[in-house]
Amino acid sequence: MPIPPVLEQTILATPVGELTLIASGQGVRAVLWPGEALGSRVDRCPSSRASAPASLPSLAEPSAILRAAADQLGEYFAGTRTTFDLSLDPRGTPFQRGAWEVLRGIPFGETISYGEQARRLGDPRKARAVGAANGRNPIPIIIPCHRVIGADGSLTGFAAGTDAKAWLLGHESRSSDAPSSARQSTGSKSPRTQERSKKVAVGP
């Protein structure tokens, strides 16, 4: 019987609420919004044959992957980081993974429409399908689905709500307008960042 992968969790306090960061040994697996159930994104793996538990047991120290994710997200919210340099381990269908890869190519502080995302994916007729794939993005912010908006400029749907989407876009706009000396690929950790770590084994 194969050994089930171990997932670790860190709770990160941010301006948009407490985010739950979940990582496997290969990379960041999910970022959950405040109040979002553990299994809501971890279970979105087509090959999964077991559900994630409702909670994770306590762990003394987070893994290097989680520490890096927490640090880089802290820098993002502090306005000193515009790109992420993290190992990612999202689970999804080939189409979803392709849509998420397009999201990773949208620069900080910029937005595109769902139609443009579909065009970049190779089929401009699939705007609705890429919207659905974005809605199942397991690693929001790091994979920036908030940077995709309606063709008319409307914010449209977002897992954390349009207020959170507006805040993220406004934050990036403000940070983009800041002097370049204040924005670096790395920076100081946000003083609001706090972590609590946990680990659990789940089915493949």
Residue from 145, 149, 159, 169 carrying the catalytic annotation: 145
CA separation for the pair 7, 179 (Å, rounded): 39
The token pair that represents 100 in the structure block: 């998420």
Identify the burial level of 174 via C-beta atoms within 10 angstroms of its C-beta, where 0-12 means exposed, 13-18 middle and 19 or more buried. exposed
CA separation for the pair 82, 172 (Å, rounded): 8
Residue 145 known to be catalytic:
yes
In terms of Cα–Cα distance, which of 43, 15, 140 is closest to 84? 140
Return the active site residues. 145
